[in-house]
Structure 1
């Protein structure tokens, strides 16, 4: 395999380096990508193995004693436009050299290993950088905890949807709710005793199945975990205990203890990659099946994109896009175009348009008609008609 993604490991020689690399291997497995997809380059091999024309991301592990290594390497990488993420252990100001003082860093801890691994994958466009979570709950039973999780997730750089906080006045409530669910990575479902007695909660549960969105299901004490059809849901149930709640109170005014909130954050981070990979695989499979039915020969590449070489000499790249295509999706497409080595190629961002608001679909159609000719979107309902073209 030709290495395309270079992960450069700089700084102190600490055991946390290997811990993080092991977690990255796990996340690549969750995404159904081989671990060889990322080439790990130690500082000692930078001059001989680093290629400036391929995507790179660097991690700098700080030193609690101020014994800073690889300063020349940092300077060269920054000049080359490579992003360097400082990782500190006690205090950023003492653990990290001045040359990285204007970079946002992250403190290493067991709770942050998943997050750091996902930051690496986001940097390489292997995992989308938007981190969207939808909280599904029954207002009369779990409002206080829903708000608590909203605040905790938001403070950890998630874009969180909570109906009472996330819909602007004057917007069509239910239409916007389905639209936002379509674009989320994970649903945190607060499964209280009366959750499925609510019509709209039941609808949200069904909608998650239709969209194949992963669910972190928090099941209240003395309440049974609901059976979920595994063919339509990816669910990760957690049976709650009274000691997960402050003073054991789990009514509508109850709140989780802080250590359990941190556990929920870790679970959401972990589920996110697995669910995005599953939805991406389903979209690829459906598109490929329709293509084969219409005698179109598309090939699935290791990068989990599809390519087609048409008889007329045209090259097409199909990029499965989870959620709602954005301008950043087009930027990602440009990167993949360069990695595939094509000069002349057209790109289609394929996506599932179920429950996306009509005004946004019209906006995407308008962009197709008025902007870049080589990058366009292709919605699921148009797969058949597009692939029927001669």
Structure 2
């Protein structure tokens, strides 16, 4: 049987929102350019025929307030198997979720949470990285108060947010750390005020985002219209009525209304997968182009990693967005490939080293030189040399 991830839907699965959640997950998978069949969706109707105990599994349990909880036998089996279960409730967790799941951390459902639920599933399967990094780009003299407001809102929604005034430690090299953090982000939240492009550093950040193929959620200030600044830009036009007391031109007093802040947070959430897929595309395309020039026979797998066989040994190339981490080679599909024949399998994390700080690059080089050679990192500027010289 083809290796697949298992998504199990239990509880009040007749509720129409289950269809909405499924459709959102399928949409996110499409955004990541993964085949839809990578996830096998299971409920009580096909449980006996489809469930496999040793495959990556995630469960969503949709609660209700009528006190009648279905699928508890399946819940107990999944708990015994160590499966992650996400309880979803509407108003009162204690009334809507069965006792068996009271120790689980649940999520309150509303229409804005579909992207969040979908991303939780993909993060659990390690198809979408669990770090949710956002970089806020803004002009201090025009939008400081809104930048701080969005920083606090995104942090409260469990994003790892970079804001220059809040995120760089004393004594650090300011500009180096800023570029480094931008390199490792998923999305840039750009506060596009009238004078944004007049700032040298704002223009530099914009150029940097373009060179790194980083997606931009662009908040366009009232009465300010500009041309598209990036093919990876997702604009959201603001009106004066989106601001408290319609004040949008005071750097210290302007505040967005709460419902607009929530809309922006969900918008950022919804474009993450598309942005990461675009950056991964760019890295794969460059690596494959160089590999072809070097006469290497490398295959792109449906799960978005690359494979090559040399002298009976399989090499798995894992396109890594941002700064390589150990969990990049622990994704379930990579582990599955590796575990089939670990003695003859090698893993290479390929990444773009542009603007990553020297101290991190030296650390990665040190790891390469001091640990076993079946796993190591390969930086973009060394693709050609490595592909020309390794056999």
TM-score, normalised with respect to structure 1: 0.96
Contact 2:137 2:188 in 1 (8 A): yes
**Does structure 1 retain, via aligned residues, the 8 Å contact 2:11–2:63?**
yes
2:340 is paired with a residue whose SS is coil
Q: Give the whole-Å Cα distance in 1 for the aligned partners of 2:109 and 2:150.
A: 22
1:247 paired residue number: 245
Counterparts in 2 of 1:152-231, with a 5 A limit?
Answer: 152-230=153-231
Shift of 1:270: 1.1
Q: Displacement, 1:110?
A: 0.5
Kept in 2: contact 1:3–1:39 (CA 8 A): no
Other-structure match for 1:314? 313
Deviation at 1:238, TM superposition (A): 1.6
User: What corresponds to 1:277 in structure 2?
Assistant: 277
SS in 1 for 2:222: coil
Partner SS, residue 221 of structure 1 = coil
Given that 1:219 and 1:239 are in contact with CA atoms closer than 8 Å, whether structure 2 keeps it comes out as yes
Which whole-Å CA distance do the structure 2 matches of 1:49 and 1:224 have between them? 53
Task: Give the Cα–Cα distance (whole angstroms) in 1 for the partners of residues 113 and 366 of structure 2.
Answer: 41
Residues matched between the structures, number: 385
Rounded to whole Å, the distance in 1 between the matches of 2:382 and 2:80 is 45
Contact 1:137 1:143 in 2 (8 A): yes
**1:40–1:340 Cα change, 3 Å:** farther
Q: Is 1:348–1:375's contact at 8 Å kept on the other side of the alignment?
A: yes
> Does the 8 Å CA contact 2:137/2:191 hold for their aligned counterparts?
yes
Distance in 2, matches of 1:268 and 1:103, equals 26
Superposition deviation, residue 372 in structure 1: 3.5
Distance in 1 (CA, whole Å) between partners of 2:12 and 2:375 is 43
Tell me the residue number matched to 1:7: 7
SS in 1 for 2:266: helix
CA distance in 1, matches of 2:30, 2:123: 15
**For 2:350, what is the secondary structure of its paired residue?**
strand
Which residue number in structure 1 is paired with residue 299 of structure 2? 299
Q: Partners of 2:219 and 2:58 in 1: how far apart?
A: 36
CA distance in 1, matches of 2:152, 2:230: 31
Corresponding residue for residue 380 of structure 1: 380
Q: TM-score, normalised by structure 2?
A: 0.96
Structure 1 residue 47: Cα displacement:
2.3
Helix, strand or coil for the counterpart of 2:190? strand
* Pairing 1:327-338 to 2, within 5 Å after superposition: 327-332=326-331, 335-338=333-336
Runs of at least 5 residues in structure 1 that lack an aligned partner in the other structure: none
Task: Find the aligned partners of 1:329 and 1:239 in 2 and give their Cα distance.
Answer: 36
CA distance in 2, matches of 1:134, 1:28: 24
